[in-house]
Structure 1
Amino acid sequence: MPDPVLGVLTVYKNDQKFIEWEERQFFQKLTAAGCHLGLEVVVLTPEDVDYRKAEVHAQTFQPSKSKWIRKWIPLPPLIYDRFRYHAGGRVLQLRQFRQSFPDLIYLSRPLADKWTVYKKLYQNAEIRPHLPLTTTYTSKEDLFRTLKSSRVVYLKPIRGTGGRGIYKIEKFDRNRYILSERDLQHRIVKPVKLTEGQIVSRLEKINISSNFVIQQGIDIHLNDKRVHDFRLLMQKNGEGKWEVTGCAGRIGPKGSITSNLHGGGKAVALQELLNRRFNDNAQVSSLRHQMVRFSHQVVRDLEREFGRLCELALDLAIDREGKLWLFEVNSKPSREVFSRIGDRDTYWKAVRRPLEYALHLYEQESRLNNRMA
């Protein structure tokens, strides 16, 4: 096998071949960590690939000079997929890449959309009680049927990330509802009171369709009316085993229906937020253990269904009665929440672990090839 090189597979944000700033910052840290582990890290997109020669015009960061350079290299044997699937038509480029080079060592496989993941997890009797009731939006009848059993519902893009384009609908009285939203630029839109007919007109105007799911609303408000949840990061370590890298709380800004950091949310240490919710040390300790056990169940279940995975972030919540809920699973997680709470050790562990796992897979493949030689 060739020397260990990890190719970070991503996508350009626009036609000017620009990679998102946050991702570039993360890739720079990956490169620095890779240097210490003896693993070269390069960044590539499907647009950079010469498919005939199996070569790529990759980008690599030089920490000593603090600059990016390009160079033509053979396709790396290891691929860390950071391709964001909300990238529109570029998802076809990813499919072409994977189909053209199936023999590369991929750290993970693509995870499905929210609805497919929900249906899979719902089949597990142990996980099912922790899932908010969810269905696809096919018509207004689906929405108002759900509102009969749940006073609050959320409309979420099936493939959306980062809290963008989410709508909250809350039953106000017999024929009126409160509509709140976060637009595609993360902005908080002022809530409005609407009748059932006005709700329908509004949804038609913004083209709500089967690309959305309807999710039961769970009361996750703190005493100051701000919403909160927990971001738990599961990653495989250098032995290929799942571990909880870290977990932190997130509190949304005033008036927000989501807690996402990109939308102005605040990161809070897990213990601090749990203590704020439940003034009972035994209960807090029990909840922490439950979150860890449950997260292991989820990742094992999803990996059996979708194939090898490298890392997953779980968005968890605990309601006022102390019940644990799973809102979403993210296969392309940020590590920023740990940096925001000042936990640099966990942050850097979260950066290193995909690299350590990549080296583990590389060594496994090398041993297999030596046995077959």
Structure 2
Amino acid sequence: MESLLPDHEGTEGLRGNGKPVLAILTIDDDIQLFRGNRSNFADLIQTGEQRGFIVYVLTVKNLYLSRSRLKGYVFNANEESWSQQLMPFPHIIYNRIPLREDEMQKTVRDKIKACMKDPRVKLFNPYFFNKWHLMEWLKQSKMTKPFIPATRKLMTVNGLSRMMKKHPFLYLKPESGKAGKGIMTIKLQPEKQMPYLLKIQEDRKSATYTCGTIYKLWARVQKESSGEAYIAQQGILLASYNERKFDLRALVQKNELGRWEVTGIGARLAGSASITTHVPRGGMIEDPEKLLSSSFSNEHARKILIKAKQASLLIARQIERGSGQLLGEMSMDLGIDIDGNLWFFEANSKPMKFDEPHIRKKSLERIFQYGTYLTKSKTEKAGGA
């Protein structure tokens, strides 16, 4: 095997022989070489190769900015196996580190920061989003502020009490949560002897508790949150299908011009015993037009979908502006209330695979459309597209 070159000498000549080079960044793993969704990585490698890219999986441990070649993992489709090879230094790094706790490691954050300062490489979507930061960024624009439910940091029992007086139905969400993990709901039922109804999301169902006082409620919430930072958010009465709540899931990505575009919008129907619509928590994938048409007229449903696409683009631009970082994609959860109003719930900088075939195909292609743009443009500024 060739030795790794210790410096920048000959870098441009080695960078894919004129082909753009994209590295999928993840974390190494002692047992399975690297972490992440292997089938997604394999799909990305195959799509990239079809579009004239060299694509490989790169772990943070093997990312050296001083070297011209890096140890990367490539996929052999015929044998369905992975092997390590020396690969050219990338033009683009696509951050797919799967877990927040991995990304929070100092060595990982330091490498990502170094990449963001290096003029030879473009790294996009550097970090997971924080739910509180998202709400703060979106409140800064009069265009996106109307989509935000009332949101507060969950700090004290008095703060919770004040919010419940304004909003008798609340969602409690971990600031750094993912895929519906750790979500709770509180409903105030003043006519009942135990007026506080608390639901806690478990794997595919929810556990229910009733509390007689705000202080007992607070103690239970504190126990469940285990000291993790939470936000409290106004509960929205979502439209439903067969008495099951649903919301929309939008995938927004940048195109070959470096501009945000809606790749697709799907719908997620809550599980029968779940308080979220996330598929890992028992939610189901559904057709958005079918679900919307069950609650509204066909014409109204069509208008809601158009508005959802327009809102997704506004929100994506404002999140990028607020973050000050280079972003290339995000998924977002949008709720439709019983009156047809649109609400933003959260965005994810590491979108999970969309299972709808037409969205999936386009989402893979768009990564490389944006990659082509990044290789041509060395001067794009965050928030400008």
Which TM-score applies when normalising by structure 1? 0.88
* Residue pairs, 1:291-370, within 5 angstroms: 291-305=308-322, 306-338=324-356, 344-365=357-378
Instruction: Answer yes or no: is the 8 Å Cα contact 2:172–2:183 preserved in 1.
Output: yes
Q: Residues of 1 paired with 2:146 and 2:221: CA distance?
A: 30
Deviations along 1:19-48, one digit per CA (max 9) or x if unpaired, are 556x11111111111111111211122123
Partner in structure 1 of residue 304 of structure 2: 287
Asked if 1:16 is matched to 2:31, the reply is yes
Corresponding residue to 1:97 among 88, 102, 111: 111
Corresponding residue to 2:49 among 24, 35, 42: 35
SS in 2 for 1:219: coil
Asked if 1:233 is matched to 2:246, the reply is no
Q: Residues of 1 paired with 2:288 and 2:342: CA distance?
A: 14
Partner in structure 2 of residue 188 of structure 1: 205
Paired letter, 1:361: L
Instruction: Answer yes or no: is the 8 Å Cα contact 1:137–1:209 preserved in 2.
Output: no
Partner in structure 2 of residue 67 of structure 1: 81
Asked if 1:122 is matched to 2:136, the reply is no
Paired letter, 2:198: L
Corresponding residue to 1:110 among 124, 127, 134: 127
CA RMSD of aligned residues (A): 2.3
Q: How many residues align?
A: 356
SS in 2 for 1:173: coil
Deviations along 1:118-165, one digit per CA (max 9) or x if unpaired, are 011012122112111111111122222111111111111111111001
Instruction: Answer yes or no: is the 8 Å Cα contact 2:289–2:302 preserved in 1.
Output: no
Corresponding residue to 2:40 among 5, 26, 31: 26
SS in 2 for 1:227: strand
Report the identity percentage: 28
Q: Which runs of 5+ in 2 are unaligned?
A: 1-11, 380-385
* Residue pairs, 1:80-91, within 5 angstroms: 80-88=94-102, 90-91=104-105
CA change 1:40–1:221 in 2 (3 A) is same
Q: Residues of 1 paired with 2:247 and 2:331: CA distance?
A: 12
Give 1:236 shift.
Answer: 0.9
Instruction: Answer yes or no: is the 8 Å Cα contact 2:251–2:331 preserved in 1.
Output: yes
Deviations along 1:200-230, one digit per CA (max 9) or x if unpaired, are 2212323454611111110115253322100
Q: Residues of 2 paired with 1:144 and 1:55: CA distance?
A: 58
Partner in structure 2 of residue 341 of structure 1: none
Bigger mean CA deviation after superposition, 199-208 or 262-271: 199-208
Partner in structure 2 of residue 252 of structure 1: 270
SS in 2 for 1:213: strand
Q: Residues of 2 paired with 1:217 and 1:19: CA distance?
A: 39
Corresponding residue to 1:49 among 38, 57, 63: 63
Instruction: Answer yes or no: is the 8 Å Cα contact 1:34–1:40 preserved in 2.
Output: yes
* Residue pairs, 1:92-171, within 5 angstroms: 92-101=106-115, 102-103=117-118, 104-110=121-127, 112-171=129-188
Give 1:15 shift.
Answer: 5.2
Paired letter, 1:206: E
Corresponding residue to 1:173 among 187, 190, 215: 190
Instruction: Answer yes or no: is the 8 Å Cα contact 2:103–2:127 preserved in 1.
Output: no
CA change 1:221–1:193 in 2 (3 A) is farther
Paired letter, 1:113: N
CA change 1:337–1:231 in 2 (3 A) is farther
Q: Residues of 1 paired with 2:266 and 2:226: CA distance?
A: 32
Q: Residues of 2 paired with 1:19 and 1:59: CA distance?
A: 9
Give 1:362 shift.
Answer: 1.1
Give 1:322 shift.
Answer: 0.8
Q: Residues of 1 paired with 2:160 and 2:355: CA distance?
A: 33
Q: Residues of 2 paired with 1:198 and 1:234: CA distance?
A: 42
Partner in structure 1 of residue 3 of structure 2: none
CA change 1:210–1:51 in 2 (3 A) is same
Give 1:86 shift.
Answer: 2.2
Q: Residues of 2 paired with 1:314 and 1:200: CA distance?
A: 30
Q: Which runs of 5+ in 1 are unaligned?
A: 339-343, 367-373
SS in 2 for 1:308: coil
Corresponding residue to 2:72 among 33, 58, 83: 58
CA change 1:255–1:20 in 2 (3 A) is farther
Give 1:270 shift.
Answer: 1.6
CA change 1:208–1:122 in 2 (3 A) is farther
SS in 1 for 2:171: strand
Q: Residues of 2 paired with 1:55 and 1:17: CA distance?
A: 22
Instruction: Answer yes or no: is the 8 Å Cα contact 1:137–1:212 preserved in 2.
Output: yes
Q: Residues of 2 paired with 1:302 and 1:328: CA distance?
A: 11
Q: Residues of 2 paired with 1:217 and 1:18: CA distance?
A: 42
